[in-house]
Structure 1
Amino acid sequence: MANNATTPLDPNVQGSHDVTVFETETLVSRIGWTIGRNKLLFGGLFLILFIVLFAILGSIFIDEERTEVGYAMAPQETADGSIKETVAPRLRPSREFWFGSDQFAVDIFAYVAYGTMGTLWMGFIAGSIGIGIGTLLGFVAGYFGGKIDVIVVILSDALITIPGLILLITVSAYLDQLSVEQLGILIGVISWMGTARVVRAQVLTLKSRAYVEVSKFNGQSDIEIVVAELIPNLAPFIAAAFVGAVAGAILLSIGLSALGLGPQNEPNLGLMAFWFIRFGAVPQGLWWWFGPPIVVIAIFVVGLFMVTAGLDQIANPRLRTSV
């Protein structure tokens, strides 16, 4: 008698949808359990979420006009004894201006909110491009080998010896004006080499494992093996590398902007650092000017490194304390 039974995952069989939903819920619960058990990962995600929400909500609810030069106004006595609203630079924090104003009478609270959004967006672009290029080249070089592998190795070894900041300074000097997006693309294009080298080394190790050989024996194509077998095993590392790339891109952009070579026409924390350094906010004790951007940068970068350390514990069995 023929067996007409179908597999439980057949989409035409009643109940298969429930199985898929159950598997999805199980995956989500496992991710949540992992985050909850990993204190570094949980704490880092909390800090990052706090800064991201500050940037998003600030850019939604705060009028962008407050970031313009000369916005901060305060009543001042004129020569004839009358009182009128005049441009007020270096205002101390008040009800109207929570973080005061800077040398240009810009509302610092508004600028920090919009500048944080611009800096995070730049970091996301740079991290996505750098990790995307590095991961792709690392997989291709490590799995397929041959001439492609040789080219990727030579190119990455040559470019990784050039300091990123010096390369960015050289490129920026020849460009008239950089936007936040352009800076993110530039940083991403010059920061893929380390990822490519590590991914290549990992792929070289993984492709000799027994389960990869079994997949080849079962007739799976190279693309199917990479997608189904290799990428899931490297996902924690790739995630950690992305977080590290975002942190590195943000610090690199701030360093470039502090030299006056970053985006000049869009709010970003690096440009803010350039101006408070140039006008001596630190030696003059104008803490409400230099303090907020430093605190935001510190919280976000610490959060990113905590997430990286937490993901390393998941990806590296030697660092894993519990499963």
Structure 2
Amino acid sequence: MSLRSSLHWGIGILGAILLVALVGPLVADRSLSQVGAVIPRQPPSADYWLGTDAQGREMISVLIYGLPQTLKIGVLAGLISLGVGTFLGLLSGFVGGWLDATIRTASDVMMTIPGIAVMVLVAANVRVMTVEIMAVIVAALSWMIATRTIRAQTLSVRERGYVQIARLNGQSGLKLVFVEVLPNLLPFIAASFVMTVSQAMMATIGLEALGLGPQNELTLGMTIYWAQFYAAIVRGMWWWWLPPILVLSLIFVGLMLTSIGLDSRVNKRLARG
């Protein structure tokens, strides 16, 4: 598979998943995703295409309503993490000096802290976990990589000829950053966003698999947790845990292919620059 086709396949897969996440809740019956809505522990059949779980929920409805929430956590965490990382990376790489040393040291220290342990500790002590709170928790412990990568790219871009010419023409400070540096980093930031979303979703699913996700909201990760809790594997209820795992795998494949394609294009552009 070529790098160009990787990007096309990745965007196609993510586009199809996003379409289901947007259109699915408009046509599916939400009441069927509630506890006790249908006969529990039913295998896939003409009445229940993906079966039902031990809590009396139709699995296809659970997947349809859990998918948007799962994507929401990943996108929110990715936006927050990349936003903080881009801001700090630009400051660190462009201003330099003591500010660069402070930001770099802070990110280095944070990277040595076992993130999953901190996330488990924080999530376990949150009284009411929501999708938004979970996204903030994940983002608070994942901004360091974006900061370091954006800083490295900023150090490279600020020495380019067009930036030096802009300096000679009297541009300086924030105007130089936002007019000359940031626009040339946008393709790289877009590629970083895809990877950040993937990492955020991975961390989120890890927390949810431990039962530390949103208890009162449907997500794919919490669906897997409840399947573990009720011993679905031992009881042979494959339709409870396998479909959410397949959907999550498809999401990660789409993100990976998109990231590979974007990275290739960004690296070629930066090399030409």
TM-score, normalised on structure 2?
0.94
Q: Distance in 1 between matches of 2:220 and 2:102?
A: 38
Cα deviation for residue 282 of structure 1 reads 2.2
Which of 85, 93, 96 in structure 2 is aligned with 1:134? 85
Question: What's the offset of the Cα at 1:266?
Answer: 0.3
Q: Distance in 1 between matches of 2:133 and 2:227?
A: 24
**How far apart are the structure 2 equivalents of 1:235 and 1:200?**
13
Percentage of matched positions with identical amino acids? 39
Corresponding residue for 2:177? 226
Where do residues 86-97 of structure 1 align in structure 2 (5 Å cutoff)?
88-97=39-48
Mean CA deviation greater in 172-181 or 101-110: 172-181
CA–CA distance in 2 between the matches of 1:205 and 1:240? Answer: 17
> Does structure 2 conserve the Cα–Cα contact (< 8 Å) formed by 1:183 and 1:253?
yes
1:240 aligns with 2:191: yes
CA apart distance, 1:318:
9.7
2:51 corresponds to 1:100: yes
CA distance in 2: counterparts of 1:319 and 1:284, whole angstroms: 54
Judge conservation of contact 2:3–2:264 (CA < 8 Å) in 1: no
Of stretches 90-99 and 162-171 in structure 1, the one that deviates more from structure 2 is 90-99
1:260 CA drift (Å): 0.8
Per the alignment, residue 63 of structure 2 pairs with 112
The reply on whether 1:206 has 2:206 as its aligned counterpart is no
Amino acid at match of 2:23: L
Cα separation, 1, equivalents of 2:78 and 2:36: 35
- Looking at structure 2, the residues matched to 172 and 238 of structure 1 have their Cα atoms a distance apart, in angstroms, of 29
- Displacement after TM superposition at 1:148 (Å): 1.6
- Among 30, 52, 62, which residue is 1:64 paired with? 30
- Contact 1:92–1:288 (CA under 8 A) maintained in structure 2: yes
**1:258-299, CA deviations, whole angstroms, 9 ceiling, x for partnerless residues?**
111111000001110101112222233322111210111000
Q: Write the letter of the residue equivalent to 2:126.
A: L
Moved more, 197-206 or 151-160: 197-206
Bigger Rg, which one = 1
- Three-state SS of the structure 1 residue aligned to 2:215 is coil
Pairing partner for 1:182 from 129, 133, 151: 133
1:284 corresponds to 2:235: yes
Q: Is the 8 A contact 2:7 2:261 kept in 1?
A: yes
Q: Is the 8 A contact 1:89 1:106 kept in 2?
A: yes
**Which structure 2 residue ranges, 5 or more long, are not aligned?**
none
**Which of the residues 150, 154, 175 maps onto 2:101?**
150
Higher relative contact order (CA 8 A, sep 6+): 2
Query: Do 2:123 and 2:129's aligned partners in 1 also have CA atoms closer than 8 Å?
Result: yes
Partners in 1 of 2:75 and 2:241 — Cα distance? Answer: 24
Contact 1:313 1:319 in 2 (8 A): no
Which residues in structure 2 correspond to 1:25-64 (within 5 Å)?
38-64=4-30
CA contact 1:130–1:188 (8 Å) conserved in 2: yes
Q: Once the 2 structures are TM-superposed, how far is the Cα of residue 233 of structure 1 from its aligned partner?
A: 2.2
Give the number of the structure whose residues are more often helix, by fraction.
2
The SS at the match of 2:35 is coil
CA contact (8 A) 1:312 1:319 kept: no
Residues 5-28 of structure 1, C-alpha deviations (whole Å, 9 max, x = no match): xxxxxxxxxxxxxxxxxxxxxxxx
The more displaced of 127-136 and 274-283 is 274-283
Which residue of 2 is the match for residue 124 of structure 1? 75
User: 1:98 and 1:319 mapped to 2: Cα distance?
Assistant: 49
1:218 Cα deviation after fit? 1.1
Q: How many residues align?
A: 270
SS in structure 1 of the partner of residue 90 of structure 2? helix
Give the deviation of 1:97 after TM superposition: 1.9
Q: Partners in 1 of 2:62 and 2:3 — Cα distance?
A: 37
1:269 maps onto 2:229 in alignment? no
* Aligned residue type for 1:267: L
Rounded Cα–Cα distance in structure 2 between residues aligned with 1:282 and 1:318: 48
Q: How far apart, in 1, do the equivalents of 2:134 and 2:27 lie?
A: 27
How many angstroms apart in 2 are the aligned matches of 1:257 and 1:56?
Answer: 23
What are the Cα deviations for residues 105-157 of structure 1, in whole angstroms up to 9, with x where unaligned? 11110111111110000111000000000000000111011222121011100
Residue type of the alignment partner of 2:125: Y
- Cross-structure match for 2:208: 257
Give the letter for the 1:67 counterpart. S
CA contact (8 A) 1:51 1:300 kept: yes
Q: CA deviation at 1:65?
A: 1.3
